Amino acid sequence: MLPKPNFFVGKVPVYGDLILAPMAGFSDLPYRSICRSLGSSMSYTEFVNVDELSKGRNGSPRARQKLCYQVNERPVVFQIYGHDVDRIVSVAQNLQDLGPDIIDINMGCYVKKIAERGAGAGMLRNPNIIAHLMERLVKTLDIPVTAKIRLGWDDNSRNYMEVARALADHGASLVAVHGRTRSQAYSGEADWDAIAEIKQSLSVPVVGNGDVRTVTDIDNIKAHTGCDAVMIGRAVIGNPWILQRRDRQEVTLPDRMELVRRHLALNLKFYGVEKGLVLFRKHVARYIEDTPARVRKIRVPLLTCERVSDFENLLCSLGSEVNEPVGLSV
């Protein structure tokens, strides 16, 4: 007998209250698979530019690769962004054929080249466009549509209530909120009061995001805001165990090394040997933070080795306590 869902996104049940945030360069299929197995209750893809998905017949190979997923990741959320309403709607309609459970519109990316073109957080300056976009998407698609927002463009335009209501009133099935403005990026403190205000005003699920680094933070943001779930981004990098409600210092060295091997194996399978090893370097650097000196001393060799066998030999050099067999056969 299945447990009771924590909440629904439209008719899609969600079991759990912790979610890996969509992050460019990190929330790819290998890492989502790791995080889903450790407790992330939904799988958001990296955000994908609708312009890239409009190239050729099926979009650029790189864009399409970001949307690859496994069935056991469900519910799967495709996150897309753009500034042209017609193109967003057209691309979203085509993406339905790939079988996602949910389409999410990124309205929170603060990066200048994206936001100043009116995409990502740039959309927050135009609540009327947001309302129009959401209404069209909901009428066009057969699956739920959601959005991830920030509190506004800057401190002089904290229009989060207007944006949140525009989304919910025009059919959004969930709103995820990062408690900072676009101009803050990740500086200052996340405003949990604002997230609570949104939660109290909407009837759809609200996901809280921002300044969640520990298990205590998870409990605190839920108690403070009443949010239906907590989305965690930067704090998951190198510590996906937080999705099991385990703080970094509680994770043993053997557990870390086992996951290093498991994650690398997934990367090699998905990207191929050469690219998979290179892309894994940023992960291993974070996995071995705050480890004993004997582990940190091999950091540079791990980040520069070009062969999987060399990588494995470096791990084996740490001694028998971290040398559990994990099936790295490439």
Which of 68, 109, 227, 316 is labelled catalytic?
A: 109
Q: 127 to each of 116, 122, 140, how far by Cα in Å? A: 16, 10, 20
What is the per-residue DSSP string for 52-101? Answer: HHTSTTT--HHHHHHT---GGGPSEEEEEE-S-HHHHHHHHHHHGGG--S
Six-digit token string for 118: 């009116």
Amino acid at 259: L
Could you identify the residue written with the tokens 């904290």?
Answer: 158
Q: Are strands 7-9 and 12-14 parallel, antiparallel or unpaired?
A: antiparallel
Is residue 109 flagged as an active site residue?
Answer: yes
Whether omega before 30 lies within 30 degrees of 0, making that bond cis, reads: no
Six-digit token string for 88: 């967003």
What is the per-residue DSSP string for 208-242? Answer: EESS--SHHHHHHHHHHH--SEEEE-GGGTT-GGG
Catalytic site positions: 109
